[in-house]
Amino acid sequence: MEKGVWKGRWFWTNLALLHPNGKHVSWSMVCGVMLFGLGLISLLTGHVASHLEWCSHRLHRRTLYSKLDGGDDAPIDIWKSQYSKYYYGCKERGRHFGPAVRERKSNGYLLIATSGGLNQQRTGIIDAVVAARILNATLVVPELDHHSFWKDDSDFANIFDVNWFITYLAKDITIIKRVPDKIMRSMEKPPYTMRVPRKSEPEYYLDQVLPILLRRRVLQLTKFDYRLANNLDDELQKLRCRVNYHALRFTKPIRELGQRVVMKMRKMASRYVAVHLRFEPDMLAFSGCYFGGGEKERHELGEIRKRWTTLPDLSPDGERKRGKCPLTPHEVGLMLRALGFTNDTYLYVASGEIYGGDETMEPLKNLFPNIYTKEMLAEEELKPLNPYSSRLAAIDYIVCDESNVFVTNNNGNMAKILAGRRRYMGHKRIIRPNAKKLSALFMSRHEMDWDTFASKVKACQRGFMGEPDEMKPGRGEFHEYPSTCVCEKPFIDDLSQDGTRPPILAANNIAMDGEESAVGRGNGRRSSTR
């Protein structure tokens, strides 16, 4: 390591020791000292400088937000963030991002076989586009997984608007529906098949995949989910966002049915909470957790667990203390009531088969009587979709995305994908349980009165409510925290007399499709406090 960089890191690591009384230096003081040395440190390493920029911007914004919401101890608005309106999704191509390579000039044809359920396959489709861009390849519309646990034989065109997908991305890459027959007839061997390691860097594709593509002309990548690195350069990250939030549009029948379910929820209540409840038997068995069902539960989940021969023996108590266990429906209800949602709140529950059925759901229904599912709201219309789990999941996706508040009891693929979309679309409220801290509270809730319990839940959930500054940029899974694609509107320090933003900023609203308005276009900057 270079001497200057080493000294810089030593300085920041030992900064707390500089206080004359040996106490911890406050955040403001640390940022002040860091800003003082910004110029010098920037010369030593751009990496440290970027962290200083984040530090200074975070300090400035926290001071601003304290004026808006009364500081860190102020009550949280459970329905929406007070400063989400200052952010918008931005996915525009940079000036130096070249046009798509035409089919006849590309390096070959890339076939992609995705893996898993709907949202896991979605991550594969997103990264397939980026991989094709890296390889200068022509992408063939990806194949969906027909052999996973869900046994859904839907094809891409059954779920997504394939023509929209091809057209929307035409400036980024060339996409075709199938390899031309003359290319297939000219091949001496079947398409070469390979599996790329998970989280592979672009360099891997250029060094290991491209030579094969050039030699064989047609290449298939299998089990394609999370096969591309999380952190890419900004232009490729924005391409991910164009695919995910714009190009991947559900078919018209799915969109229309999803919107009818949304309208039924809206007719009953002006706002509603969507709960993505993962509590299926196989998911619980895989977790290795215990949920209070006695020997019957231990036996049943233990038998299911035998399907995976390589799973390690886990301590249920240890997993719960580490925050690795999904919340039960009852615990989700307790968390929501403690946060301030009243029992007349309307809940839309998106779930598969709930382990324990009605008996497991009863405590949640007692806390929130107004619970609805897609089956309750559109039973007859759903019948043609019943054999297709991915199409049913697409309906849940739409209704959850349109909700005022999205709550999850897990951190699975749908939870991550929807959380990222809601951040991109204006930071609509997302509640992710702080399971590690909540587990201890749930265990001891009978030892305290309700007000004490509620107060502790609210304290635990700060930082887990989907606020814009919860995650440092570049951290976390990109599909969940798409920081590159979330821009910040320019703001003025002076607030109006009523504490709101000046009218010029109020006009900078987010359009329905996630693109910024004409007033704000080109004036925003990337958020540095995701």
Joined tokens for residue 108: 């070959």
DSSP string, 329-348: HHHHHHHHHHHT--TT--EE
- Give the pLDDT score at 29: 57
- Burial grade of 185 (CB within 10 A; 0-12, 13-18, 19 or more): exposed
Q: Which strands sit side by side in the sheet containing 218-224, from one edge to the other?
A: 175-176, 138-140, 109-114, 218-224, 192-194
- Give the pLDDT score at 52: 43
Joined tokens for residue 454: 């509620």
CATH number of the domain at 103-246, out of 3.40.50.11340, 3.20.20.100, 3.40.50.460, 3.40.50.10490?
Answer: 3.40.50.11340
Joined tokens for residue 473: 């940029």
Specify the domain boundaries for CATH 3.40.50.11340 within the chain. Answer: 103-246
Question: 3-state class of 334 per DSSP?
Answer: helix
Q: Which strands sit side by side in the sheet containing 347-351, from one edge to the other?
A: 371-372, 347-351, 273-277, 405-408, 429-431
Dihedral Cα 297, 301, 302, 306, nearest 10 deg: 170
Phi/psi for 429 (5° steps) reads -55, 130
- Count CB-CB contacts under 10 A for residue 530: 24
pLDDT digits (tens), the chain, 530 positions: 444 444 444 444 444 434 444 445 555 555 555 555 554 444 444 444 444 444 444 444 544 444 444 455 667 899 999 888 899 999 999 999 999 999 999 999 999 999 999 999 999 999 999 999 999 999 999 999 998 777 899 999 999 999 999 999 999 999 999 999 999 999 888 999 999 999 999 999 999 999 999 999 999 999 999 999 999 999 999 999 999 999 999 999 999 999 999 999 999 999 999 999 999 999 999 999 999 999 999 999 999 998 888 888 889 999 998 999 999 999 999 999 999 999 999 999 999 889 999 999 999 999 999 999 999 999 999 999 999 999 999 999 999 999 999 999 988 899 999 999 999 999 999 999 999 999 999 999 999 999 999 999 999 999 999 999 888 888 899 999 999 999 998 755 444 444 444 433 333 333 333 333 333 333 344 443 33
- Give the pLDDT score at 407: 98
Joined tokens for residue 265: 């929820």
CA distance 302 to 307: 9
Angle (nearest 5°) at CA 304 between 302 and 306? 75
CA atoms within 13 A on the CB side of 457: 27
SS3 of 65-76: the string is: HHHHHCCCCCCC
- Give the pLDDT score at 36: 56
- Count CB-CB contacts under 10 A for residue 241: 25
Single pTM value for the model: 0.81
Question: 3-state class of 87 per DSSP?
Answer: strand
Q: State how beta strands 87-89 and 192-194 pair.
A: unpaired
Angle between helices 3-13 and 46-69 (to 10 degrees): 30
Which residues touch 186 (CB under 8 Å, ≥6 apart)?
none
β-partners of residue 87 are 488
CA distance 61 to 81: 14
Joined tokens for residue 247: 């190009």
